[in-house]
Structure 1
Amino acid sequence: MLIAEDLLLLLYDDETGKPIAGSPGLDYALAGAVLIELTLLGKIDITTAGDGVKPGRLKVLDPSPTGDAILDERLAFIADKPGKRPKDRIGRLSKKLRDRLLMQLAGRGVLQADEDKVLGLFPVTRWPAKDARHEAEVRTALDSALKVGTTPNERTGALIALLSALNVVPKVVTDAVDKKALKQRAKQLADSDWAADAVKKAVTEMQAAVTATIIVASTAATAS
């Protein structure tokens, strides 16, 4: 499973098949998850001042295919125009990403595509859980880190950072008594050293990029 797939499972209600996070934040977070995955695979990195170029830019380390079509398409896009800041690429990388991931999960039998119509007129697709075993494992790892206090692995830490950026941790971990403490724990983990430097740097950049693009989108929507 991709980190983006795990994130999507957490952000869709198992019963109703509806997202619990709004757009475009959810879509930007999915794009951030893809970039983190590519970093974990050693395909991309974030430049630093010592690289001889502007810091905080995406750079490709290995353009060879990963074997996953969704990752490979995004990797090719980054390779075609390297040197861009993550926040400037998040929007383009998020295009049609959610639909592709949902269809992929449905194809594996993890989600079910339920066709319906709003007001009997407008077609809509709901995505309730069909096989929630993997999601249950992801949630157990989240609970361990957020409620028990264990140190998360890189994938779980990345999920927590993205959920924190979206400000939806209490919507995902719904049985926590102290929601404020839960959010503080998530932020603490997002900022702590639980991963290798390259991965932690990527997660920090993606978290900032997701937050920045949400703010820009919200400002534009308000202005219009």
Structure 2
Amino acid sequence: MGSVALAEELLLLAYDDESGRATGSHIGLDLGMAAAVLVELALAGRIAYVGGTLVVTNSAPTGEPIADEVLTRVVADTPHTPSSWLQRLRHGLRDRVLADLCAKNVICDVDETTADGYIHLHRYPTIDPSVEADVRDRLSRALIGDDQPDERTAALATLIGAVRMEPTLGLTGADVRAAHEQLEKISDHAGFTGTVSMEESSIRPSVALVVAVLVKAIQTALGTAKA
């Protein structure tokens, strides 16, 4: 695993560095982060998609706190569909991810709660920009390069495309559409969409299958699934 988890990478991209506030669709981000935690477990060889549900294949901890908390939940619960897990995990996950990044001193919690305590406001400006810079560099190389990115970066790119977070990459106008098309190509070549067979994909089939069903679940939840 990297220095930060996939869900944390998505959140860093979605939050403005200076204002410390989220941009874009809140529900899209929450669904994307829930999917990212499950993808993290698939990358670590802990879960798989079997018979329409996500099941645990290895219950050993990964060492990533949020992923391990979710792994414990999946182990203890009955099998559920990818859509069900996205809904179960997205509530409260953002606060957990924000707290984790604060503990790592990547962002800080600026409490602007009013003196009477009736209005609770928090901002999370960046204090260590190097982490997000690494994420953006990986994505930039994936978007402009001819080589298929590694599993982790391909999965991140696919999730960004699924929740339509292209504007967080600093793009506007026609560039947003062009980036979305490139993200879809990365997803296609990785075998996440069914247009490329699992055998031809450079991504492990077990991982590709988990990412594919989670992306479909996100798009269905957001009403963007293709007919």
Structure 2's unaligned 5+ residue stretches are 191-201
Moved over 4 A (4+): none
Q: Which residue of 2 aligns with 1:127?
A: 124
Q: Is 2:106 aligned against 1:110?
A: yes
Among 146, 164, 168, the alignment partner of 2:161 is 164
What letter corresponds to residue 48 of structure 2 in structure 1?
D
Distance 2:94 2:211 in 1: 20
Residue 170 (structure 1) shift: 3.1
Distance 1:108 1:68 in 2: 12
Matches within 5 A, 1:56-135: 56-117=52-113, 122-135=119-132
Residue 17 (structure 1) shift: 0.7
What letter corresponds to residue 211 of structure 1 in structure 2?
Q
Is this contact kept in 2: 1:170–1:183, CA < 8 A?
no
Residue 127 (structure 1) shift: 0.7
Stretch moving more, 194-203 or 11-20:
194-203
Among 148, 152, 170, the alignment partner of 1:151 is 148
Distance 1:43 1:30 in 2: 18
Stretch moving more, 23-32 or 37-46:
23-32
1:129 counterpart SS class: coil
Classify 1:149/1:169 alpha carbon distance in 2 versus 1 (closer, same or farther; 3 Å).
farther
1:59 counterpart SS class: strand
1:122 counterpart SS class: coil
Percent identity of equivalent pairs: 33
Q: Which residue of 2 aligns with 1:208?
A: 216
TM-score of the pair, normalised by structure 2: 0.84
Is this contact kept in 2: 1:170–1:176, CA < 8 A?
no
What letter corresponds to residue 27 of structure 2 in structure 1?
P
1:84 counterpart SS class: coil
1:46 counterpart SS class: strand
Residue 199 (structure 1) shift: 1.1
Question: In the TM superposition, what whole-angstrom CA distance separates every residue of 1:132-165 from its partner, at most 9, and x where no partner exists?
Answer: 1011011011001112333211111111111111
Question: In the TM superposition, what whole-angstrom CA distance separates every residue of 1:160-205 from its partner, at most 9, and x where no partner exists?
Answer: 1111111121332427963322111111112222421111111111
Matches within 5 A, 1:9-48: 9-47=12-50
TM-score of the pair, normalised by structure 1: 0.85
Residue 16 (structure 1) shift: 1.0
Distance 2:173 2:150 in 1: 21
What letter corresponds to residue 142 of structure 2 in structure 1?
A
What letter corresponds to residue 58 of structure 1 in structure 2?
L
What letter corresponds to residue 188 of structure 1 in structure 2?
K
What letter corresponds to residue 85 of structure 1 in structure 2?
T
Distance 2:17 2:36 in 1: 21
- What number of residue pairs does the alignment pair up? 209
What letter corresponds to residue 207 of structure 1 in structure 2?
V
Is this contact kept in 1: 2:148–2:189, CA < 8 A?
no
Classify 1:153/1:89 alpha carbon distance in 2 versus 1 (closer, same or farther; 3 Å).
same
Among 8, 11, 16, the alignment partner of 2:11 is 8
Among 168, 189, 192, the alignment partner of 1:192 is 189
